[in-house]
Amino acid sequence: MRPIINRRRKIGFMHVDARELDNNTVIEGDLCIVGAGAAGISMALDWNKSGKKVILLEGGGFEYDSEIQDLYSGNSTGQRYYPLRSCRLHLFGGTTGHWGGMCAPLDPIDYKIRSWVPDSGWPITPADLVPFYTKAQKLFELDSYNYSLQYWQEKYPGLAPFPLDKDVIWSKMWQFSPPTRFGKTYKETIVKSPNIHLYTYANLTNIIANDEVNGIKQLIVKNHGGKTHNVRAKNFVLACGAIQNARMLLASRGQAKNGIGNDKDVVGRYFMEHLEVKSAELWLKKQFSTELYTFDYSTRKPRAELALTEGIQEKTRILNGSASLTPLAIAKQQTPLIDVWSNEDPRISFDKLVANFRKSREKNYTGKDENNNRAFELYTRMEQAPNPNSRVMLSDELDALGVPLPQLHWELTDLDKYSIRNMYHILGEQIGKAGFGRIKLEKFLWDEYDNSMPEKLGGGWHHMGTTRMSRDRNKGVVDVNCKVHGISNLFIAGSGCFSTAGAPNPTLTLVALSLRLSDYLKTS
C-alpha cells in the first residue's frame, strides 16, 4: 500500500526532502505549485495562512548541486545563445540567486495590437495588473510603485533629462531591488508556514491527465535518490520557467501525442528574449549632467533609459526598446555578455560577469578625463517580435531522470534589426536637432539592407512567450487567467505567458502576473 501524505494529516514539519520519503508516496493537497523561483514562491507566500494545503515542489535543494543543475542542460540553434544549463539556477529561490534587480512595468503599448507587429496584443490591459504590480513591488523590497520621472525628480532634484522633444523621446524609469534573493529572504516564512508544504528534490517528470485529457489527475516527480512520488491536487501550477514549462508540457505525451495542451502545436513556440547589444556612441558637445541616466551601485537609486514614445513607434512601425548610457571609458573595457557568460556552470559564468564589470570600473575609469563625462556607449534593450519559428522543442537526448532535454531554436526577424537601426536613427536626429551632441552608429547598423544580427548580440537571460497568453488557442497556450486551453485545472505562472516581451526586464511583471493568477485561484 502506498504511503499517503494528504490534506488532513498533520505533519510536524513543512519542509520534506523527497529523497527521504518512502518510494511511491502519494502527496495530496489543495494547490500544487511546481517550481520555487520568483513566480512559485510569490504565489506560495500569497497563500500563506490561508487554511489551504499548498504543495510547493522544488527540483533542487537550498544550495547549488551540480547533479541537479544538469537537469537544465539543453542545446540551441539559430541566433547564438548562452549555454542553457547556466541560464537558470535549479535550487530553492531559482534564478533570483543571480538576478540583477532591475524593475519596471510594461508600457501601455506593449499590451496593444500593433498592425506592424505580427501576433501582438495581450488579452488583458495595464489596469488588470496594476494592483498586482503594487504587491510584487513589496516582495522585491521596493517602496513606491511609481515610475514617473516627476516623482523621482522630487526625491532627487539632480535628475535632469536631456533637452529632447518629449513627443519623440522620453526617459523611462527603472527601480533597483537590493536585489532580493527569494531563496534567502523567504525561506523561513515558507518553511515555517502552517499550510505551505515544501518538497525539495522533487523533480517533475510527467503530467498525467484524465481519460478525456481535459483535466490533470496527478504529477509524477522523481529524484536522483531513485524515488518516484505521485502528487495530487485540485489545481496545478507550473512555475518552472519558460523553457522548462514548455519542455514538461511537450514531454508529457502518454495521453496526448503532441504533449499536454499542445493540440494546436503552440507549446514552445514564440520564444522571446530581449535583444541586448552595444549599438552606438553618444558624444556630447559639452558636459551635461547624466545623473538621471547613471546607475549608482552604492545607492541603487532609480535611473532612466532613453525610449521612443508610443506615437513615434507607431509612426515608424518599430518595436519597443530603450537605450542605456555607460561612460565610454568603462564600456570599451567590457567584453560582450554573450562571450562572458559562456561557461556551462552558472557560478563560473556569474563570477566572470561580475569580474567583467568590476575590472572596467576599477581599472579604467578615474573620472578625471573630461571625455568620461561627454562620451557614452548606448546599449540597446529591445523587445523581440513574436515569432512562432523561435521555439523550444525536445531533443532525442534524455536527462538523468528520463525526461527529454530541451532544444532551443532562437530565430529573429527582419523587424528586430529594422527596429534597432531606426531607433538610433531617430535618437541621432533628435540629439542633433537639440544641438547638444552627436551619435555614432556601430558598424552592424550601417547597411539598411543587412538584417543579420552580430555575433556579439546577446539576451538578458529573459525567457518569455513559450506558453503565451491568448484568447485564441491557435495563437496561445493559456487563456486570460493563465489556464491552459482545454485543461480545467492546469495553470502556468511566469514570463512564458507573456504575449509580447515589452522593453523592461520581465521579473516584476512575471511576479505581478503570478499574483494575479493566485488571486484568481483563490476565488475560482
**CA 309 to CA 450: how far, in whole Å?**
26
DSSP per-residue codes, 359-373: HHHHHH--S-SGGGG
- One domain, residues 329 and 190: no
Estimate the crossing angle of helix 126-139 against helix 38-46, to 10 degrees. 90
- One domain, residues 35 and 132: yes
List residues bridging with 334 in a β-sheet: none
Please give, one letter per residue, the 3-state secondary structure of 270-310. CCECEEEEEEEEEEECCCCCCHHHCCCCCCCCCEEEEEECH
Give the model's pLDDT for residue 205: 98
Coil, strand or helix: which one is 79?
Answer: coil
Is 60 part of a structural domain of the chain?
yes
Neighbours of 120 (CB within 10 A): 19
- One domain, residues 114 and 50: yes
Domain, as residue range, for 484? 1-142+181-272+395-408+463-524
Give the model's pLDDT for residue 9: 40
Is 388 part of a structural domain of the chain?
no
Coil, strand or helix: which one is 86?
Answer: helix
- One domain, residues 417 and 495: no
**Cβ neighbours of residue 64 under 8 Å, at least 6 residues apart?**
89, 91, 347
List residues bridging with 13 in a β-sheet: none
Give the model's pLDDT for residue 524: 84
Is 458 part of a structural domain of the chain?
no
The domain that holds 213 is classified in CATH as 3.50.50.60
- One domain, residues 351 and 229: no
Question: Domain count of the chain?
Answer: 2
- One domain, residues 294 and 404: no
b/e burial code for range 286-314 (CB count within 10 A of at least 16 → b): eeeebebbbeeeeeeebbbbbbbbbebbe
- One domain, residues 17 and 85: yes
- H or E element: which one contains 242? helix 242-251
- One domain, residues 122 and 215: yes
**Cβ neighbours of residue 490 under 8 Å, at least 6 residues apart?**
207, 215, 216, 235, 236, 238, 260, 261, 483, 484
- One domain, residues 224 and 253: yes
DSSP per-residue codes, 158-205: T----S--TTTEEEEEEEE-S---HHHHSHHHHHH-SSEEEEES-EEE
Give the model's pLDDT for residue 420: 98
Give the model's pLDDT for residue 364: 52
- One domain, residues 250 and 324: no
Which residue in 66, 71, 61 sits closest to 91, CA to CA?
A: 61
Is 390 part of a structural domain of the chain?
no
Q: Which residues of the chain have pLDDT under 50?
A: 7-12, 365-368
List residues bridging with 281 in a β-sheet: 377, 440
**CA 28 to CA 55: how far, in whole Å?**
8
Give the model's pLDDT for residue 357: 87
* CB 232, CB 218: distance < 8 Å: yes
Neighbours of 10 (CB within 10 A): 5
- One domain, residues 108 and 19: yes
Is 389 part of a structural domain of the chain?
no
- One domain, residues 432 and 448: yes
Is 133 part of a structural domain of the chain?
yes
Residue 314, C-alpha cell as written in the block = 507607431
